[in-house]
Amino acid sequence: MDGHFDPLAELGALENADGFVSRHVAPSETEIAAMLREVGAASLDDLAAKAVPAAIRGAPDAMDLPPAADEVAVLAELRGLAGQNECKRSLIGQGYYGTHVPPVIGRNILENPGWYTAYTPYQAEIAQGRLEALLNFQTMVCDLTSMPIANASLLDEATATAEAMTMARGVGPAPADPRRAGDPRGAARRPDHGRGAGRRGGDRRRQALRRRAAIPRHHGRRP
Amino acid sequence: MLQYPGTTGAVRDLRAEIAAAHEAGALAIVCADLLSLVMLTPPGEMGADVVVGSAQRFGVPMGFGGPHAGFFATREAFKRQMPGRLVGVSQDAAGNPALRLALQTREQHIRREKATSNICTAQVLLAVMAGMYAVWHGPEGLRRIARRVHLQARLLAGAAVRAGFTLRHPAFFDTLTLDGDDAAALAGRASAAGFNFRALPDGGVSVALDETVTREELGQLAGLLGAPLLDAAAGVPEALVRTSRVLTAPVFSAYHAEHEMLRYLKRLEDRDVALNRSMIPLGSCTMKLNATAEMVPVSWPGFADIHPFAPAEQTRGYLTLIERLSGWLCQVTGFAAVSLQPNAGSQGEYAGLLAIRAFHASRGEAQRDVCLIPSSAHGTNPASAVMAGYRVVVTGCDRDGNVDLADLRAKAAQHEGRLAALMVTYPSTHGVFEEGIRDICEVVHRHGGQVYMDGANMNAQVGLTSPASIGADVCHLNLHKTFCIPHGGGGPGIGPIGVAAHLAPFLPNHPMRPDVGPASGFGPVSAAPFGSAGILPISYAYIRMMGAAGLRRATTVAILNANYMAARLRPHYPVLYAGAQGLVAHECILDCRGFQAEAGVGVEDIAKRLQDYGFHAPTMSWPVTGTLMIEPTESESRAEIDRFCDAMIAIRAEVAAIAAGTLDRADNPLKHAPHTMGEAAAADWPHAYPREQAVFPLPFVRAAKYWPPVKRVDNAHGDRNLVCTCPPMEDYAQAAD
Ligand SMILES: Cc1ncc(COP(=O)(O)O)c(C=O)c1O
């Protein structure tokens, strides 16, 4: 060891407080250097300067945030915050109730990246698993409410209620109910004969509106 | 609109009111509690037109207000007007059953200026959990849970009557409201004993029971009332007892043994592509790492088991977390104040636009109702504007996808006096840092308007620039994009808004929590005061572990990765749009339109072919039809990016082979993609190209092959024969015949 050895500085480096950054940002220094050459930039700063217009570029220290802390430290900090919440038995109701998350669901869905990191199932072929799970949800809602059709979720009860009001205003007076005749779910399997109020105006008007809309359609695949 | 049971617990027969509503030409909307419907006559049998509610108590923690799945059920006649996504049964190219999102061309997607809903990100993960709760418990299990909760309530009601309280509602399911001289004091006694009751402003007190209440706790509750648990009050009246069966589909009876359930969940999971399999390069969606350490605290009881209306002094940890995170997001956006209440980007847009409305009104300019939106905007923008009561005026874009400044000037001048706002995405939806953004904002301000910045592309800004720096007045952030909340298969999300100081008085607030938001705010946009608070620890952990330098590095590497991909793919695909220096921002658009004439190949064929390689396609045909928009994010290594580029280049070679005639125009691996294990293993291989090329197109695919479980799904078939529930028993019986 030479005389300049500063054990506390060395310890700080070994503690690796910003170690998470290189877990989150995947490319290594070597990879970054190679990719920078490929795109014609000298450094990450140079790339940022080239990509972001000068007029809006911020100072490098524009964000005043606490210094990075590692996973262990941040989990400890969050545990402390969680500890400041008092888990009294809330029997308040108003749309929120105690419930047991079945452990088999907690661990295998809520805590499972195979479920939580997926995207909206627009690419149906590679989303059959969660599509089936959502079909279960829809079926459960249909059964319990005794309605023929249910969607795959909205943001919360309050916005669902607001959506219902808006829809009601849009569709006008209630039509005669075609499904009274039999099993509610059977109705969903019959082709729509255009009797419902929802069909007022029909396809031709819809096409005209489509033509008029200046913004292109998304084909249902928007992000 | 009727609540069933009512908020203070009343169970009433709704038939007469619903009939009267229909008589008057109105629709009847019922907000219902799912667990009670196991025992009560369901709203559908009472004639309801729409039934909505929350699926929270089906195994989703309270999380201080969310996230939870809201549900929406309606009649067949309104299927095209129903907001949100709908899963339906269809078939694949081989005629096998396959699922997909149904009716994607419904009006809300098409009539953008006339939209009635702006929902995009919803609550898929939570809906999946709630659905699986029903699968796990089945009809018998749910009936047992509902009857148990009901019997507890009846016993407690018996004790309450014995103790001299009056039951406000003699007919109830799980919630009692007690009146009497002692009621006001009761809530205080309960609190001292560790229970939160709901003290009503009129002096009554409500107690809502649930499946977590134990026999011992029930005894404690009776003790608080001052009488023993001896007899059960009536509860649900005879006339409202449900007689129809529930959950008759086989799936709800097949998985009650844990091994069966475990394997069912595994089977479903294995059918899907998620980030634990391969990169998901969806432009505008920012599918970055959702680190395990960020996720862990979400399940801790100290975050999960907190009621949103628990007294503030019991939620100090949450309030500290919220205050810090809000402050950090102010630093990120350069704004003065932040509201975490909106549950998705769409709700952030709605909230921000309402804030702008309130701002104009406060200055005596309530007539300002024109919202300018560039034609390149995301569909939620005009939908939110319409919902917030604006008139949408579309402004054009130039050939490079940038806002056409001349058109913007003209429209701003034309609507001078009525101009309320411009909604603009930055970097643009085309993935470009528009040079003219400050001019754009300046034009709007000069004509009295406010600038709303859609923050979906914030991952290209953090630490390099900010919404405040570009000249915006308000923006939303998608914490489920830039700040690591996982997409959950289509939700949850959080769409906080940041505002400049002059808009801070107009942020959302909440009638139940006067301490949330400014008193001068316009009201809430979510049911819970802090929206989906339960998942805020994820974004908190991310920012805390990255620090300012780490976040800046993430942004720069996101830009680097996108430009690296653009550079690798440019020799093979035209890359549309770039900034002044020839660089893209954090995403790039590949033009595939030429392939149609060249080889009869559409962008969908490429998307489906990528599935044979185990990849999820980039964003398809948005914002430009016939293109693919790729966003790698900073969390993809060079190796993974190279794998994806190799796949894209190999696909391009197949397109070229079709054009050259070496592959058949109709019978080629692109047109028949994806290929399933079943067809690869079949004795008969009917195609003009080899099996190996179909299923192992590159060596890396062999090492960890993902088999798409179905062939290409036929969307039109499913829409013609709409089935949006699990097949009933009869279908299985028929199949067996
Ligand atoms: C540009 C843009 N704006 C708005 C949204 C809507 O956000 P959310 O899905 O969170 O409602 C999206 C996202 O998916 C988007 O890409």
How confident is the model over B58-105, as pLDDT tens digits?
999 999 999 999 999 999 999 999 999 999 999 999 999 999 999 876
**At B473, is the secondary structure helix, strand, or coil?**
coil
How confident is the model over B287-331, as pLDDT tens digits?
999 999 999 999 999 999 999 999 999 999 999 999 999 999 999
> From the CB of B429, is ligand 1 less than 6 Å away?
yes
Q: Considering only CB atoms, which chain B residues are within 8 Å of A85?
A: 64, 302-303, 306, 314-318
Residues with Cβ within 8 Å of residue B42, at least 6 apart in sequence: A144, A145, A146, B32, B51, B242, B244
Best mutation target, A43, A109, A159, to test chain B (most B CBs within 10 A): A159
pLDDT band at B106 (very low <50, low <70, confident <90, very high): low
The pLDDT, as a whole number, for residue B721 is: 86
Ligand 1: distance of its center to the CA of B117 in Å? 14
Task: Establish how many alpha carbons lie within 13 A of residue B286's alpha carbon, considering only the half-sphere containing its beta carbon.
Answer: 27
ipTM, interface predicted TM-score of the complex: 0.97
Cα(B165)–Cα(B178) distance, rounded to whole angstroms?
6
Which DSSP state fits B228? -
The pLDDT, as a whole number, for residue B722 is: 87
- Cβ–Cβ of A26/B634 closer than 8 Å? yes
> From the CB of B586, is ligand 1 less than 6 Å away?
no
Nearest CA to ligand 1 atom 9: B121
Amino acid at A49: A
pLDDT band at B113 (very low <50, low <70, confident <90, very high): low
How confident is the model over B406-420, as pLDDT tens digits?
999 999 999 999 999
Residue B374: name the closest of B466, B462, B454, B442 by CA: B454
Give the nearest chain A residue to B174 (CA atoms): A93
The pLDDT, as a whole number, for residue A174 is: 53
pLDDT at residue A181 greater than cutoff 90: no
How confident is the model over B695-710, as pLDDT tens digits?
999 999 999 999 999 9
The pLDDT, as a whole number, for residue A60 is: 86
Cα(B319)–Cα(B340) distance, rounded to whole angstroms?
12
Percent of chain A beyond pLDDT 90?
72
Which of B11-15, B108-112, B423-427 is least confident? B108-112
How confident is the model over B315-326, as pLDDT tens digits?
999 999 999 999
How confident is the model over B36-56, as pLDDT tens digits?
999 999 999 999 999 999 999
Give the nearest chain B residue to A154 (CA atoms): B70
> From the CB of B635, is ligand 1 less than 6 Å away?
no
The residue-averaged pLDDT of B642-649 equals 98
The length of chain B, given as a count of residues: 737
- Cβ–Cβ of A70/B131 closer than 8 Å? no
Cα(B737)–Cα(B731) distance, rounded to whole angstroms?
10
**At B22, is the secondary structure helix, strand, or coil?**
helix
Which of A101-105, B21-25, B114-118, B324-328 is least confident? B114-118
- Cβ–Cβ of A91/B208 closer than 8 Å? yes
Q: Which atom of ligand 1 is nearest to the CA of B348?
A: 11
Question: Mutate which of B112, B121, B380 to test ligand 1's pocket (most atoms within 8 Å of Cβ)?
Answer: B380
Residue B102: name the closest of B604, B725, B719 by CA: B719
Other CB atoms within 10 A of residue A35 CB: 22
Chain A segment 24-83 residues within 8 A of B by beta carbon are 24-28, 31-32, 34-36, 38-39, 41, 44-45, 47-48, 50-53, 55-58, 60-71, 74-75, 77-83
pLDDT at residue A196 greater than cutoff 90: no
> From the CB of B123, is ligand 1 less than 6 Å away?
no
Task: Out of B1, B117, B273, name the one closest to residue A163 (CB).
Answer: B117
pLDDT band at A178 (very low <50, low <70, confident <90, very high): very low
- Cβ–Cβ of A125/B78 closer than 8 Å? no
How confident is the model over B218-231, as pLDDT tens digits?
999 999 999 999 99
- B183-187 long-range contacts (CB < 8 A, ≥24 apart) are B186/B224, B186/B225
> From the CB of B120, is ligand 1 less than 6 Å away?
yes
- Cβ–Cβ of A123/B611 closer than 8 Å? yes
Cα(B122)–Cα(B489) distance, rounded to whole angstroms?
9
Percent of chain B beyond pLDDT 90?
93
